[in-house]
């Protein structure tokens, strides 16, 4: 479980991340989870050391797992994991991540691979894509994400 804050883009036009290691960030220029398109949430895996981030265990996710997004109105939107992908941090697949179709999808992104102290990031990104399982929820802003198997 983690609280989610709004994030946008950096000065270099990359997806921003939360300024701390306890929250995740929802891409505020995209759809809310449950609405058509790709709702994108990112967060730190850790600080490159001993402080765990909200997505430390995201690498344990498997295809078929359910992800529950609790909305601010108390409703829950459920997604089922359909794809796990790893990309280089230098070749992040922006088109695939941000441009979904008419279906409702959730894309969760975190760092993965080897920590590179010289650039203070990991060399890869883990991208988990899930599709909406339930279609009967009117969505509002989201305060938290929970994962279960």
| Residue range 35-60, pLDDT digits in tens | 999 999 999 999 877 889 999 999 99
Distances (CA, A) of 59 to 10, 84, 131: 25, 9, 18
How sure is the predictor about 86, in pLDDT bands with cuts at 50, 70 and 90? very high
Read off the pLDDT of each residue in 12-41 and give the average, rounded to a whole number. Answer: 92
Read off the pLDDT of each residue in 82-89 and give the average, rounded to a whole number. Answer: 93
Read off the pLDDT of each residue in 55-73 and give the average, rounded to a whole number. Answer: 93
């Amino acid at each position: 479980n983690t609280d989610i804050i709004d994030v946008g883009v950096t000065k270099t036009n990359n997806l921003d991340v939360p300024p701390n290691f306890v929250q995740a960030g929802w891409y505020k220029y995209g759809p809310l989870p449950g609405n058509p398109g790709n709702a994108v949430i990112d967060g730190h895996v850790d600080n490159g050391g001993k402080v765990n981030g909200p997505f430390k265990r995201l690498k344990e996710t498997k295809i078929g797992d359910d992800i529950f997004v609790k909305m601010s109105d108390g409703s829950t939107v459920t997604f089922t994991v359909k794809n796990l992908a790893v990309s280089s941090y230098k070749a992040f697949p922006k088109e695939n991540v941000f441009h979904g179709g008419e279906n409702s999808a959730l894309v969760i992104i975190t760092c993965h691979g080897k920590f590179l102290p010289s650039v203070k990031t990991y060399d890869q990104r883990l991208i988990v894509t899930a599709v909406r399982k339930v279609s009967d929820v009117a969505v509002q802003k989201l305060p938290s994400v929970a994962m279960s198997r």
